Amino acid sequence: MKIGPVAIAHPITLAPLEEHSNVCFRALMKRFGASLVCSERVDAERLARCDRRALRLLTTSPAESPQAGQISGRHPMVMAAAARVVEALGFRMVDLNFDCPVRRLLLRGEGGALMAHPIAVARIVAQVVQAVSVPVTLKIRSGPDDSRQTAVEVARRAEEAGAAAVSVHARSVAQGYAGGPDWEVVGQVKQAVKIPVIGSGGIREAADALRFLRQSGADAVAIGRGCLGNPWIFQQTRAMWCGGAPPPPPSRQERCRVMLQLVEDEFHLYGATVALRRLPRTAGYFAQFLGDGSEFHTAVRQVRSLQQFRQLVHKLFRQGVLQ
């Protein structure tokens, strides 16, 4: 698959996940075999005025190459200005978010709200395409709700406006993140456009990803919540995609090692105060694969330093307390 001039090695990619997919997380998933990763959604207005927090969300590194940065907003000129910032920060693709179902955004007419307005989406895409020299992609849903499937029309208009690829989250905006994804809609978009189509929704293990690719005919799959605490899903999916046997599941030691690595990276990225606030969630997803984590969940909230966290992991997991 090629997105504009950018070659993507294989069809197993990471879906953007707000509050999770920072640069450490993205680099980790890349190391485990994701071919493409994308930043979480960043507010275009803030980015256009170079707000420090917005810029920090777009911290990137060569380890996640080819970098893709995502923005949301509804004013074409503001989206264009924000896209120029994304490009200037070194990202090789700009992704436009028409997916987010968060109420605050919907009330502002942004994110998923735009799935009800295909022409407005096309205007934004066209303006952003003019503003940057890197490929512009978009992330959409099946439609605003079950009764209105606008994905095909939005994708067609976006392609005409110059989009280089489209990612379809196979749920409606009204569904949020619950309920079965409708993979058929991804197939319908694939039939309707020539640009690459990436699909996401409901991938929890490697076999789901392969089934999705077969059933939808999409060019790529994006793994969302299925990789939280489980980056091995990328290795497994990739091996099976290449026709091989999946590698054996990771040992407890290996799970602990990777969890510690991600936590350490977050300490470096954010500093101790923010990293400690994130710690129960960052580590909690890994802990759920390590046994009955209730003791861990209580203890992790008492941790006050990276060193204490290392000791906790050693005490609870390496010595087999939580068998």
Ligand X SMILES: Cc1cc2nc3c(=O)[nH]c(=O)nc-3n(C[C@H](O)[C@H](O)[C@H](O)COP(=O)(O)O)c2cc1C
Q: Interface with ligand X by CB under 6 A: which residues?
A: 15-18, 40-41, 70, 97, 99, 139, 169, 177, 200-203, 224-226
From the list 9, 79, 12, the residue with the least C-alpha distance to 224 is: 12
165 versus 316: smaller Cβ distance to ligand X: 165
Among this protein's residues, is 50 annotated catalytic?
Answer: no
Question: From the CB of 17, what's the least distance to ligand X, in Å?
Answer: 4
- Are the beta carbons of 29 and 261 closer than 8 angstroms? no
**Beta bridge mates, 14:** 223
Cβ-in-10-Å burial (0-12, 13-18, 19+) of 178 comes to: exposed
69 versus 118: smaller Cβ distance to ligand X: 69
Question: From the CB of 83, what's the least distance to ligand X, in Å?
Answer: 15
Alpha carbon distance, N-terminus to C-terminus of the chain: 43
Amino acid letter for position 270: Y
Coil, helix or strand at residue 170: coil
Question: From the CB of 226, what's the least distance to ligand X, in Å?
Answer: 6
Question: From the CB of 168, what's the least distance to ligand X, in Å?
Answer: 9
- Return the structure tokens found at 287: 């802990």
70 versus 236: smaller Cβ distance to ligand X: 70
Give the active site residue among 24, 38, 100, 256.
Answer: 100
Q: Are strands 41-43 and 12-14 parallel, antiparallel or unpaired?
A: unpaired
41 versus 157: smaller Cβ distance to ligand X: 41
Active site residues: 100
